[in-house]
Amino acid sequence: MEQPNTTNNRPADVLQEERTEHLLSRYRFWLFAVLTVLFMVTFIYYLPLRFREQAGGHEEMMGGGGMRGDGAMGEHAHEDGDMMNMRDMSTVASLALLPLRGPSNRLERLPFTISADGYKEFRLGASEFRWEYASGKWVHAWGYNGQIPGPEIRVAEGDKVRVIIKNSLPDATTVHWHGLDVPWQMDGVAGISQKAIEPGTTFTYEFAAVPAGTRFYHSHGKDHMTAAQQLDMGLSGAFIVEPKQENIVYDREYTLVLDEWDILAGGVNSAISHIQHGAGMMDAVPDFNTFTINGRIFPYTSKLDVKKGESVLVRFVNVGTAAFHPMHLHGHSFKVVARDGFLLEHPEERNTITVNPGETVDILVVGNNPGPWLLHCHHVHHAAAGMSTLLQYEGYEPVQKLK
């Protein structure tokens, strides 16, 4: 029996509504399909490609593959982008939201005010950001006042010093005054001399600046398990106490803060996971593959300018947690005039001096051999991975452009 044609019996406005709904359904289907394809292309192809570019560019500057902490080459130093899981991708994506800081943001010396009670008052802020260690290359960092290393604090011997620390990190922290004879309550060791400074809070350190010499400040973590990891994130800076009576005569001076990093693909700093999992866990010691002078790798390090006949005081500060650095200057000998901030009664004549983790060494260079001269770590893998700069005389340039 023939079925009745119910379509022709429905009103025109109902038919139009059905046609519209059918078109909208097709539109939603194709929109969903297009968005799905875009999502897959982004997370399966584009982001891994960007991660590989980040890692590849860094390895190219390193001279090929990455390096382990012992200086040997290792393929595992930078993960291939397509081996990274979704958690790694989300980590890198979240890092891209952090502010990018670099040499243009650096403040060489931290300013101070004089308080009503006669203290030199400094303000430091610990925060999280991306640090540009070479042109177009950055690493996830924690630092003071938005820079690596933190700004130099410089005072005179005997000054009353007050440093107000604001913690804007995602974790608790402390500040230790390395080589300074502070009261025990000001030593900056969580659980021993103070409670850790919680995120969003401040702490005030007060002490007299003694003894004179090249010192530094750095995080001591929120406990003994996180001291190294917070240092590996970048929380350190130079602290210079000028003597009441200067015993070294020089025309220029430079402070070189030596540090090491384990930088993974996408700028991820491996120390962040060590903070999360604890120093006692497997692989808690990073495989350092990047070595910086004042937060930069060669050839992006700042050169040491000198004129013929000048004397130059160079202060080495090794703020790293593990690596030693035999620093060697080409074309010159120099006098080692101080170690750990203390003047040597009999300065040593050297051309290479090793600076161990936590040590400072002051050398005096006489500008008697004009030219552009390499100053580098003679653990040569460290030099290849960034720890080099130039002592460059006025009127002399390298034979090739370096960057």
CATH number at residue 385: 2.60.40.420
Domain presence at residue 69: no
Q: How far apart are CA 189 and CA 221, in angstroms?
A: 8
What pLDDT sits at residue 34?
A: 72
Domain presence at residue 337: yes
Tally of domains within the chain: 1
Structure tokens at 158: 């005997």
Q: How far apart are CA 80 and CA 56, in angstroms?
A: 9
What pLDDT sits at residue 60?
A: 45
* Overall average pLDDT of the 106-130 stretch: 98
pLDDT tens per residue across span 172-226 = 999 999 999 999 999 999 999 999 999 999 999 999 999 999 999 999 999 999 9
CA angle 171, 175, 176 (to 5 degrees): 140
Domain presence at residue 129: yes
C-beta separation of 364 from 311 below 8 A: yes
Domain presence at residue 31: no
In the predicted model, is pLDDT for residue 42 greater than 60?
Answer: no
Q: Please list the alpha-helical segments (H only) found in 41-107.
A: 47-62, 86-95
Domain presence at residue 371: yes
> Which residues constitute the domain of residue 109?
100-403
pLDDT tens per residue across span 44-94 = 555 454 544 444 444 444 444 343 333 333 333 344 444 345 445 557 778
123 vs 54, more confident:
123
pTM for the complete prediction?
0.79
For the chain, the distance separating the N- and C-terminal CA atoms, rounded to the nearest angstrom, is 88
Domain presence at residue 23: no
Domain presence at residue 285: yes
Domain presence at residue 168: yes
